[in-house]
Chain A
Amino acid sequence: MISAQHLTRRFAARAVVADVSFDVAKSEIVALLGPNGAGKTTTMRMLAGLIAPTSGSVVRARIGFLTESPGLWDRLTVRENLRTYASLYGLAQPDRAVERAIDVLQLSRQASVRAAELSKGMRQKVALARALLHEPAVMLLDEPTSGLDPEITRGVRRLLDERRAAGCAILVSTHNLDEAERLADRVAVLHERLLAIDRPAALRRRLTTGRLIVRVTGDPARSLETVRRFDPAAAIEGPALVLKVADAEERTPAIVAALVAAGAGVVEVRPEMPALEDVYLRLMGR
């Protein structure tokens, strides 16, 4: 649905985006992460066809683009803003498309209000409605929930879930790691170059080490030797044994089996996975 191949964009001698390649499939949400100035907006603009890459290519279906700023015409009402865009997209039934978008984004109460009078969150919702008007197969969303209150943010996430279920390929640029984790099937970390792209769990597995907390009956010191077969640095913290394991999901059954074979009664096994933030900071070299 979107395919970026070796995208590079230079401003004078400086490369803002260098050799970035990735795909976003149908019914998939990919979150584009990166610090300020990492090239996220430039990548989005190249994908939307607004600016040309210095080299590389983009293949995409019909897009809906949510720009970094809502960019509404202040003196026009919400409906007039949307109606103008519906006509520019050449929709056969522009009024119907506008009413549908207003309905989906629950904007009926604001439909006749001038954009200048809307709150930031409402403006963002109108901009989202505008990006959805022509039912695009691909959505490019540049920080869609930036500065929104939790209620509107949840509404936006729900909407994106619905669009994904409807088969849309969605690329979301965000600074919000929690949002990326909740929303995205895969995350792409960009800092001029594409540092990593994968499912959050796979990135964690690959780039960080989780902890496994095991509580056993009786004195945990008696089981320390057993768990040190899996992590030589395993230690006791309070009443529990603590091990560092790269892939807790895969290794837990073997650890539990070993403890049971050694005669320990396992009361609780709790994996502690590092946050996506840890993965991100690791990739950023911090």
Chain B
Amino acid sequence: MVMTRVRTLLAKELLDLSRNRLALLPVGLITILSLVLPFGIAVAIPMLTGQELGSDADLVKVSGVAVGHESLTPSARVQLFLFQQFLLLFLLTPITGAMALAAHAVIGEKLARTLEPLLATPVSTGELLVAKMLGALLPTLVISLAGLGLYLGGIVATAAPGVAAAMLSLRTALLAVWVGPAAALVSLQSAIIISSRVNDARTAQQFGVLIIIPLAAVLVAQFTGTFWLSSTMLALLGLGLVGVWLLLVLLSVAIFDRDSILTRWR
């Protein structure tokens, strides 16, 4: 693999994206939603209604089971529980964003008829797919990490005493820099595979959405207190996702069939 070629293609991807900022709108919207929802529920609503979070016995019970932190007041514990739950939403940001971009990665080149001249250069399939993967991952990761920075900054500024310190934990770090990017890699690599096998961007995107289903299940299970992802589980989950991603990389290179891509497109 020649890295200068990967860098060249990546630079082209980023330049192209910088001139098509609407493509990043879904990521931006999800980031905003991921910020508005938790602060609305955990901070604004209790403030506006005058009803403390700790007054809901069910929430206090669930938050105690899931998080611990006995030294916190009941309201602070519920707030911490909610902020930790909503942290999972930040997993969705790079996943949906990267997926939307990656779903368009190969099919977009096909439809614009730019793939044939590109494949006539010395670019290898691996180089092309790595550049496409990074081109989709980097912008969404930057946006989601910026959102996460705002999220944590907001918690420091508005949450009850002790909540911010409790949030700045290994679990948060694992979610932000390990599980999140790993899930995004799996998502976008799947989207790239689909993108190189279909003839229509809509089909690629619809298949890509399926990746959100297991994540949504984890989110719901956590909210209901059925299931709690500890730091160890998160570390293992991240590892598993990276393993899946590596397999998908090999698969995507193996099934990227230049011949049929060029001869079957219409």
Contacts of B9 in A (CB 8 A): 84, 88
Contacts of B262 in A (CB 8 A): 45, 50-51
- Interface 1/0s, chain B 120-142, versus A by CB < 8 A? 11110000000000000000000
- Flag if B117 contacts A130 (CB, 8 Å): yes
- Flag if A87 contacts B8 (CB, 8 Å): yes
Q: B202 interface residue, CB < 8 Å from A?
A: no
Q: A78 interface residue, CB < 8 Å from B?
A: no
- Flag if B121 contacts A76 (CB, 8 Å): no
Binding site for A on B (CB under 8 A): 2, 4-5, 8-9, 11-12, 15-16, 19-20, 112-123, 258-259, 262-263
- Flag if A88 contacts B112 (CB, 8 Å): no
- Flag if B20 contacts A75 (CB, 8 Å): yes
- Flag if A73 contacts B12 (CB, 8 Å): yes
Partner of A51, one of B2, B19, B121, B258: B258
Distance to closest chain B CB from A203 (angstroms)? 31
Q: A75-B16, A89-B122 are in contact. Are A69 and B259 (CB under 8 A)?
A: no
Which residues 165-223 of A sit at the B interface, judged by CB distance below 8 A? none
Q: A241 interface residue, CB < 8 Å from B?
A: no
- Flag if B122 contacts A90 (CB, 8 Å): yes
A80 to B12, CA, bound (A): 8
Question: Given known contacts A49-B120, A76-B19, A87-B5, what 14 new A-B pairs fall within 8 Å (CB)?
Answer: A50-B262, A51-B262, A63-B120, A65-B120, A74-B112, A75-B16, A75-B20, A80-B15, A85-B117, A88-B8, A88-B122, A88-B123, A89-B121, A114-B19
Which residues 63-84 of A sit at the B interface, judged by CB distance below 8 A? 63, 65, 67-76, 80, 84
Distance to closest chain A CB from B16 (angstroms)? 5
Q: A29 interface residue, CB < 8 Å from B?
A: no
Distance to closest chain A CB from B132 (angstroms)? 13
Q: Which residue of B lies closest to A114 (CB)?
A: B19
Q: A132 interface residue, CB < 8 Å from B?
A: no
A72 to B116, CA, bound (A): 10
- Flag if A67 contacts B120 (CB, 8 Å): yes
Contacts of B113 in A (CB 8 A): 67, 69-71
A51 to B19, CA, bound (A): 33
Distance to closest chain A CB from B6 (angstroms)? 10
- Interface 1/0s, chain A 1-19, versus B by CB < 8 A? 0000000000100000000
Contacts of B116 in A (CB 8 A): 45, 50, 67-69, 71
Contacts of A85 in B (CB 8 A): 117, 121
- Flag if B117 contacts A51 (CB, 8 Å): no
- Flag if A73 contacts B112 (CB, 8 Å): yes
- Flag if A71 contacts B114 (CB, 8 Å): yes
Q: Which of A49, A50, A63, A80 has the most CB of B within 10 A?
A: A50
Contacts of B4 in A (CB 8 A): 87, 90
Q: A90-B122, A130-B117 are in contact. Are A76 and B15 (CB under 8 A)?
A: yes
Q: A45-B262, A51-B258, A90-B2 are in contact. Are A76 and B120 (CB under 8 A)?
A: no
Contacts of A76 in B (CB 8 A): 12, 15-16, 19
A114 to B16, CA, bound (A): 11
- Flag if B5 contacts A88 (CB, 8 Å): yes
